[in-house]
Chain A
Amino acid sequence: MADTAQVATAAGSKDPTVGLAAVRSLRLLVERLEALQVANARDLGWTWEQIAQHLGVSRQAVHKKHASGRRPLRRRD
């Protein structure tokens, strides 16, 4: 969707407003995708250990980040 010229401009831009906004949105996108994928893996019966390995983080880290909010959701299934 973004045309090449526009991307080139932004990528080469040293304007922090542009660059930081892009980083912020990218981080948010990553967070959303991670939450989705972790939830899906759990639904498929993956262990926290397995998920952590694939994400390249510790089991504790992934559990701490994703375990709490999920229980009420899972109960509704």
Chain B
Amino acid sequence: MFERFTQEARDVVVGAQAEARALRHRRIGTEHLLLAMLAPGTTAARVLTRHGVGHDAVVAAVRVHSGPDELDAGALSSLGIDLDAVRGRVEEAFGPGALDAPQAGRPGGHIPFTPRAKKVLELALREAIALKSRTITDGHIALGLIREGEGLAMKVLHDRGVDVPALRDDLRLALNP
């Protein structure tokens, strides 16, 4: 299937991994695919931007929903725990970054896709077939996200008041002008 992916679509798949790593998440979900699609200049990004979906806003929404997989200094201070002090002690003994998330934060470490994100990529193929496209583009992945319909990416879109049927039509138009 992947041999039919265009460079833009491949960039989305690779970018999703980078997005997950940046957020220190341990799985690549639909939200990371969405974030990777919002890289500037892609077809999907142009359409999504027209519908008011931007990278920074999605990052903020994802952080709220997936919860921080990072230590929250504010929350800990509410218990009287000084995170900076703890970090200082730990780094003194174990070196800089010792308290950071293991594995997911490790450069080059493999982050697996969630079953739902895999499903989205399969549905991208079906969208491409339905639109009689020989290749799978980032726009087809966006359509795959919408067809899958659940997952955090869609929740973020719904929460932002995006008109999903209109977004789908615009994506199809952009793909088959």
For the side of the interface on A, what is the size category?
20 to 34
Q: Does B80 contact A (CB under 8 A)?
A: yes
How far, in whole Å, are A13 and B79 apart by their CA atoms in the complex?
11
Interface residues of B in 20-76 (CB under 8 A from A): 67, 69-72, 75-76
Residues of B within 8 A of A24 (CB): 67, 72, 75
Bitwise interface map of B from 68 to 98 toward A, beta carbon under 8 Å scored 1, else 0: 0111100111111111111000100010001
- Of B67, B78, B86, B98, which one neighbours A22 at CB under 8 angstroms? B78
- Of B79, B83, B85, B99, which one neighbours A7 at CB under 8 angstroms? B79
Q: Does A40 contact B (CB under 8 A)?
A: yes
Q: Does A61 contact B (CB under 8 A)?
A: no
Q: Does A32 contact B (CB under 8 A)?
A: yes
With A2-B78, A7-B80 already in contact, 15 other A-B pairs whose C-beta atoms are closer than 8 Å: A1-B77, A1-B84, A1-B85, A7-B77, A9-B78, A21-B72, A21-B75, A28-B69, A28-B71, A29-B76, A29-B86, A32-B102, A33-B90, A36-B98, A40-B94
Q: Could you give 17 example pairs across A and B, Cβ below 8 Å?
A: A1-B83, A2-B80, A2-B81, A7-B80, A9-B78, A10-B78, A11-B80, A18-B78, A22-B78, A25-B71, A25-B75, A25-B76, A26-B79, A29-B71, A29-B83, A32-B101, A35-B102
Contact surface of B with A, Cβ cutoff 8 Å = 67, 69-72, 75-86, 90, 94, 98-103
